[in-house]
Amino acid sequence: MTRRARLLLCVLAAACLLPACLHVALHMPPFGAHPLPYGEAINALATRQRHVTNMVSAVNFDYRGLDTLGEEFMLLGAVTGTAVLLRGSRGEQLTARPGRVGNRPVAPRSDAVVLICRALAALTVLFGVYVVLHAMTTPGGGFQGGAIIAAATALIFLGEGYRGWRRIMRTGLLDAAEGGGAALYALCGFAAMAAGWPFLHNFLPLGTPRDVFSGGLMQIENAGVGFAVAGGFAVLFVEFLEETRAERDGDGA
């Protein structure tokens, strides 16, 4: 396609799209206004019905708990797919040498990086656990906390180098956390069914509002999501960073 034809196509497409874009832009609700009744209803009802003060968790784990189960298995599928794609023995050994890019030198870590990463990684894990545990009372939850914990493992890699990092990252445990977390969520649903309620019905005692352990079944689902997300992201990191190691003989096939 010539430059002229492309330009013509671009102008034509813009002429078709522009009126629609302008129409939407001019009829949008003002900034900050939310005319949807669903949020108002949840805000009014959730604390009374489910004894939690974090409405997002109430929606994610209870009112629309099935959606979160779907997302859980999307994550599991994505991580499994990545692990299958990047299978192979490269980097599996703790002593694997770093791969070389041209003649670029592999720089050693400075002491400052090691010190900062050791201090920050511990604090970040702590903060991640805090965010997971306080899912029912304050903003955050299993996904956010799990992602924060996984981010801490990236800090450990930065501070300890590949060998020390792989010694800490027990891949068997991470796989178990990823799969077990998703299974725990699904089992919560089946447990409700076994007891005669609908799937994912919140049948556990709901506890006192504003208490860390309020929310009943949501607590267990939230823990499942936390394990699955922390394990899933950590597995991704291991799989990707294994690819930055040098090949041994026979790895290339």
Partner 1 sequence: MSILIAALLLLAAATGSGVALTRTPRRQVMAMAVNGLVLALLFMVLQAPDVAFSELAVGTVALPLLFLAALASVRMDRRSDRARDGG
Contact present, 221 and 68 (Cβ < 8 Å): yes
Question: What CA–CA distance (Å, rounded) separates 234 from 165?
Answer: 11
Minimum distance, C-beta of residue 247 to partner 1, in the bound complex (Å): 6
Minimum distance, C-beta of residue 228 to partner 1, in the bound complex (Å): 14
Question: What CA–CA distance (Å, rounded) separates 125 from 103?
Answer: 36
- The verdict on 237 binding partner 1 (CB under 8 A) reads yes
Minimum distance, C-beta of residue 83 to partner 1, in the bound complex (Å): 13
Minimum distance, C-beta of residue 197 to partner 1, in the bound complex (Å): 28
- The verdict on 196 binding partner 1 (CB under 8 A) reads no
Question: What CA–CA distance (Å, rounded) separates 231 from 178?
Answer: 5
Question: What CA–CA distance (Å, rounded) separates 76 from 131?
Answer: 22
**Nearest in space to 132 (alpha carbons), one of 120, 122, 146, 121:** 146
Minimum distance, C-beta of residue 32 to partner 1, in the bound complex (Å): 7
Contact segment (CB under 8 A) with partner 1 among 2-10, 194-202, 210-218, 234-242 equals: 234-242
What burial letters (b/e) apply to 124-149, b meaning 16+ CB within 10 Å? Answer: bbebbbebbbbbbbeebbbbbbbbbb
The nearer residue to partner 1, 143 or 185, going by C-beta atoms, is 143
- The verdict on 24 binding partner 1 (CB under 8 A) reads no
What burial letters (b/e) apply to 35-48, b meaning 16+ CB within 10 Å? Answer: eeeeeeebeeebbe
Return the residue of 39, 77, 88, 99 that touches partner 1, per CB under 8 A.
Answer: 99
Q: Which of residues 203-222 bind partner 1 (CB under 8 A)?
A: none
- The verdict on 162 binding partner 1 (CB under 8 A) reads no
Per-residue x/- track, 39-58, partner 1 (CB under 8 A): ---------------x-x--
- The verdict on 253 binding partner 1 (CB under 8 A) reads yes
Question: What CA–CA distance (Å, rounded) separates 45 from 209?
Answer: 13
Q: Which of residues 100-159 bind partner 1 (CB under 8 A)?
A: 100-102, 131, 139-141, 143-145, 147-148, 150-151, 154
The nearer residue to partner 1, 145 or 224, going by C-beta atoms, is 145
Quickly list DSSP for 121-177. HHHHHHHHHHHHHTTTTSS--HHHHHHHHHHHHHHHHHHHHHHHHHHH--HHHHHHH
Minimum distance, C-beta of residue 101 to partner 1, in the bound complex (Å): 5
Binding residues for partner 1, total number by CB under 8 A: 32
Q: Is 35 left (phi over 0), alpha (psi -120 to 50) or beta?
A: alpha
Q: Given the rule CB under 8 A, which residues bind partner 1?
A: 31-32, 54, 56, 99-102, 131, 139-141, 143-145, 147-148, 150-151, 154, 233, 236-237, 240-241, 243-244, 246-247, 251-253
